[in-house]
Structure 1
Amino acid sequence: MSEPAATPAAAPQTWQRRSMGQRLLRYALGLFIMAAIVQAARTVEVIPEFLYDAPEQMGDMLRRMWPVDWSYFGQAVGSALLETLHMATLGTLLSLALALPLGVMVAGNVTPNRLLNFVARVLLVASRSVNSLVWALLFVAIFGPGPLAGMLAIALRSVGFVGKLVGEALEQAPRGPIEALQAAGATRFAQIWYGYWPHIKPSFWSVALLRWDINVRESGVLGLVGAGGIGVALNTAIDLFYWDRVALVLITIFAVVIAAEVLVLWVRKRVI
């Protein structure tokens, strides 16, 4: 009686983390990044003589900054610092007033109108696309130099940031309370106030505090383009080569940023 023919053994399977196409895509992406870095390095045009001389120039600048001219604080820095804080605060409040209606318009579940959604989204993207310094340059050309231009620049820069987060928070709100209000015959305003607002209120105030903290930092440099604040004192000291006063302004900005960070953390932990 003949024996049955032996079946051939199956080829062993090897596990691969990525397919051939994925590996080729990674290699292509790596080559693209390397080419972009090389092209960027060629465009920057680093001058070797200046690069070698940089440590010596930095040391000379630091020596000129010491001792710090503390008397300059009462002459110009103190009032400029208050102006900076006022700009940041008023700009943040104005941005909140503008961002809330835009956030409601951009949320599709609250405003089921695609045209309004599109218009609000374009406005929010336009606000985020333009840097605060560019906004400040535009408003300085319109209103002249001063804190008004800085406040408006901060407000328009912040609208896109706050409005986008408000819209996302509204879209993630649970439907249960809204459907209950609709079944009870509540108006659209009542649905927003009693249904959506309690859900987004903690995140809204957190975003408001975070944006104020960011605006305090940004308002410190708007004076470099004439938009008021402590940046004006910094620009004046640099133009006149008063490096001891430059050191004072930089120390003041650093201290204010740290104080704002501590204040925001304290408020978030104990109030929100």
Structure 2
Amino acid sequence: MIASQREWVRFTPRERFARTFVWLAAVAAFVWSLRTVEVIPEFLYDAPSQMADMLSRMWPMDTAHYAQGVHRALVETLHVATLGTILTVFLAVPVGLLTSRAVTPSRTLNTLGRLVLVSSRSVNTLVWALLFVAVFGPGALAGTMAIAFRSVGFVGKLLAEALDEGDPGPVEALAASGAPYPSVLLKAHWPQVKPAFWSIILFRWDINVRESAVLGLVGAGGIGMALDTAMNLFYWDRVALVLATIFTVVILTEILVTFIRKRILRG
């Protein structure tokens, strides 16, 4: 009597059908999207020569323009990112405490906090900037408010998650001893989330520096206005200077934030 041989199959028929369906759906979505965006073949064929022409106009950069038209806008960009991040702390901390179940044991208040955080994250920074430009007019104030309102969702969500992941032991011990709510918050919750909180703020500031660099394209101040002006006037050598400046600042802020976060985590 010959024993029946088993055949190893990687996927079940249901899994193979699901994988095939996903691949077909992805291909259909790609073809549909390609037809919807109406790609003009002539522009694709001409793109390499246009790119080469633009790069030739960008070099050499107009470095003499930095002192006159870039430095002040760069400083304003850093101010917008910094002030927006500081304002975020005052806005995001209460919302994060409201969202955390470990701090606020109320589903209604938790849902309200999540609604605020989702509303903040669902609107892009440029859209926030357009709204505040309409309210406050063009300038750095609109950019600062846009950075702050966009960052509330990011900082508040991560703060709430850090609070929920904390050790409940110290909290229960202080609450059982009759300590008031502010003492429980400062002596039990804060020491546990302190390193994560400062890391979140630094990381968000790093992101805000990058985002504030383009807010000037919609009139919200900063170096983006210098970039927009140079592009509108077809001063490509100045465009190259602004782009190089933005790239340098982003790299330096990344190095600075990484160094400070390491010191905080070690401490």
Amino-acid identity (%):
60
Whole-Å separation in 2 of the counterparts to 1:22 and 1:194:
52
Query: Hey, what's the Cα distance between the residues in 1 that align with 2:150 and 2:199?
Result: 18
> Which of the residues 95, 98, 107 maps onto 1:102?
95
Q: CA deviation at 1:156?
A: 0.5
Which runs of no fewer than 5 residues in structure 1 stay unpaired? 1-7
Aligned residue in 2 for 1:119: 112
User: What is residue 194 of structure 1 aligned with on the other side?
Assistant: 187
Aligned-partner SS, 2:213 = helix
Deviation at 1:226, TM superposition (A): 0.1
Say if 2:138 and 2:219, in contact at 8 Å, map to a contact too. yes
Give the Å deviation of 1:266. 1.0
Match of 1:172 among 165, 168, 176: 165
2:23 aligned with 1:51, yes or no?
no
TM-superposed CA distance for 1:25, in Å, is 1.2
Selected match of 2:218 from 225, 242, 245: 225
Q: Secondary structure at the match of 2:214?
A: helix
CA distance in 2 between partners of 1:95 and 1:18 (Å):
49
- 1:136 alignment counterpart: 129
What SS does the corresponding residue of 1:125 show, helix, strand or coil?
helix
Paired amino acid for 1:47: I
Which residue in 2 is equivalent to 1:155? 148
Q: TM-score, normalised by structure 2?
A: 0.96
Q: Please give the alpha-carbon distance, in whole angstroms, between the structure 2 residues aligned to 1:200 and 1:22.
A: 43
Q: Does 1:16 align with 2:19?
A: no
Which is worse superposed, 134-143 or 20-29? Answer: 20-29
Rg: which structure is higher?
A: 1
Q: Distance in 2 between matches of 1:94 and 1:118?
A: 23
Which whole-Å CA distance do the structure 2 matches of 1:255 and 1:21 have between them?
A: 52
Alignment partner, residue 252 of structure 2: 259
Amino acid at match of 1:68: M
Structure 2 distance, partners of 1:235, 1:270, is: 38
Q: 1:5 matched to which residue of 2?
A: none
Report the CA distance between 1:18 and its aligned residue.
Answer: 2.8
After TM superposition, the structure 1 = structure 2 runs for residues 235-246 of structure 1, keeping only pairs within 5 Å, are 235-246=228-239
Paired amino acid for 1:267 = I
Q: Report the Cα distance in structure 2 between the residues aligned to 1:262 and 1:57, rounded to whole angstroms.
A: 35
TM-score normalised by L of structure 1: 0.94
CA distance in 2, matches of 1:108, 1:213: 28
Tell me the secondary structure at the aligned position of residue 103 of structure 2.
coil
